[in-house]
């Protein structure tokens, strides 16, 4: 007997409901240590989702996404400190506006580039922000900037959970279920042909870039308030973007749930290695091995394994093993 409904849509809804319920009760079932890991996992799942909007759906590989994460973090830190002393909730929209402005200014010229040229341009932008934040007094320079502490792990857990849920809902609604998503995917697959279909590709790319950037900035704002101290490397660092890229590639580029799978999976593995070995250098080796294996054997990422394909051998195997009723569905 099947454990889940055989109708793919109902099966998806039931799985989603189970995930939401589990995540909703999690803070009352684990200690603070694991709650912090769960909070981080949700943040990375959300950040990977933000990167996937442009990198996965539009096909523009952005190596400067940490710039927007950092902008959100710095705007929150700046506005919560002296002399402004604004409440946290008021700093988020401010960070979104600042990030959107930067995204338009940077995106308008750089989105004319493609491939490695675009990747290098965005990477350079993040590097410029590191140098800027390191040199300026109002950002606290290289020493960084502190925020008023708020010691409520559940608040940050639900802030990350809510933002990640919203990011995935937006991705589903805009990229999977709307005309806008068709335009974005069309330009990814063949930009001149998309232009020939009347699609203003420059505008659609810019809209996607801004959405992706603003999403990352919200996570940056929550992160800054959560950790209570930031410096240029901790929020603008290139390794932040690198992780997002790897998470999306592992999970499934241009898929809805791939970034969640990659984000949660890699972050939890990272924390477990740190917990048992206390040295994350081993994590880099595992990461490298995982990338090689995925590139060789799972070019569509882990999410690609679950893609519905007629006569898919995996479906038949899964059907026999766990009775999902997946086998034979188109």
Q: Which residues bind other proteins (CB under 8 A)?
A: 179, 182-183, 185-186, 188-190, 192-201, 254, 330
| Structure tokens given for 79 | 């506005």
Q: How many CB atoms lie within 10 A of CB 202?
A: 15
In whole angstroms, the minimum distance from the beta carbon of 244 to other proteins comes to 21
Q: Smallest Cα–Cα separation from 229: which of 318, 145, 158, 314?
A: 145
In whole angstroms, the minimum distance from the beta carbon of 8 to other proteins comes to 13
In whole angstroms, the minimum distance from the beta carbon of 200 to other proteins comes to 5
In whole angstroms, the minimum distance from the beta carbon of 303 to other proteins comes to 14
Q: How many CB atoms lie within 10 A of CB 301?
A: 25
Q: How many CB atoms lie within 10 A of CB 8?
A: 15
Helix/strand/coil for 78 = helix
Residues 6+ apart with CB under 8 A from 123: 63, 64, 238, 241
Residue whose CB is less far from other proteins, 154 or 190: 190
In whole angstroms, the minimum distance from the beta carbon of 254 to other proteins comes to 7
- The C-alpha angle 105, 111, 113, rounded to 5 degrees, equals 130
Contact 325, 6 (CB under 8 A): yes
Point out which residues pair with 145 in neighbouring strands. 230
Residue whose CB is less far from other proteins, 22 or 305: 305
Q: Is the dihedral of CA 51, 56, 58, 60 positive or negative?
A: positive
How far from chain centre, in Å, is Cα 80?
Answer: 25
In whole angstroms, the minimum distance from the beta carbon of 9 to other proteins comes to 15
Residue whose CB is less far from other proteins, 108 or 136: 108
Residue whose CB is less far from other proteins, 100 or 253: 253
Residue whose CB is less far from other proteins, 87 or 198: 198
Residue whose CB is less far from other proteins, 1 or 196: 196
């Amino acid at each position: 007997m099947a454990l889940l409904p055989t109708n793919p849509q109902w099966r998806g809804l039931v799985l989603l409901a189970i995930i939401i319920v589990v995540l909703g009760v999690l803070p009352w079932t684990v200690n603070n240590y694991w709650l912090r890991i769960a909070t981080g996992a949700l943040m990375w799942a959300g950040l990977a989702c933000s990167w996937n909007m442009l990198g996965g759906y539009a096909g523009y590989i952005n190596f400067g996404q940490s710039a927007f994460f950092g902008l959100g973090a710095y705007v929150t830190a700046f506005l919560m400190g002296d002399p402004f002393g604004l409440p946290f909730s008021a700093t988020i929209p401010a960070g979104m506006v600042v990030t959107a402005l930067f995204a338009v200014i940077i995106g308008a010229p750089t989105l004319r580039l493609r491939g490695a040229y675009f990747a290098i341009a965005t990477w350079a932008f993040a590097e410029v922000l590191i140098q800027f934040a390191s040199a300026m007094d109002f950002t606290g320079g290289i020493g960084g900037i502190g925020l008023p502490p708020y010691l409520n792990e559940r608040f940050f857990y639900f802030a990350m959970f809510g933002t990640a849920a919203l990011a995935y809902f937006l991705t589903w609604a805009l990229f999977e279920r709307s005309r806008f998503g068709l335009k974005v995917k069309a330009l990814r697959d063949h930009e001149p042909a998309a232009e020939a279909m009347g699609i203003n590709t420059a505008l659609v790319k810019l809209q996607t870039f801004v959405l992706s950037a603003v999403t990352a900035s919200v996570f940056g704002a929550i992160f800054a308030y959560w950790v209570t101290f930031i410096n240029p490397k901790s929020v603008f660092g290139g390794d932040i973007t690198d992780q997002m890229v790897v998470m999306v590639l592992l999970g499934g580029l241009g898929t809805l749930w791939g970034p969640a799978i990659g984000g949660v999976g890699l972050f939890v593995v990272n924390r477990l290695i740190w917990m048992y070995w206390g040295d994350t250098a081993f994590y880099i080796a595992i990461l490298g091995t995982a990338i090689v294996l995925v590139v060789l054997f799972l070019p569509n990422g882990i999410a690609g394994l679950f893609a519905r394909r007629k006569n898919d051998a995996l479906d038949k195997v899964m059907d026999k093993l766990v009775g999902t009723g997946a086998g034979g569905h188109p």
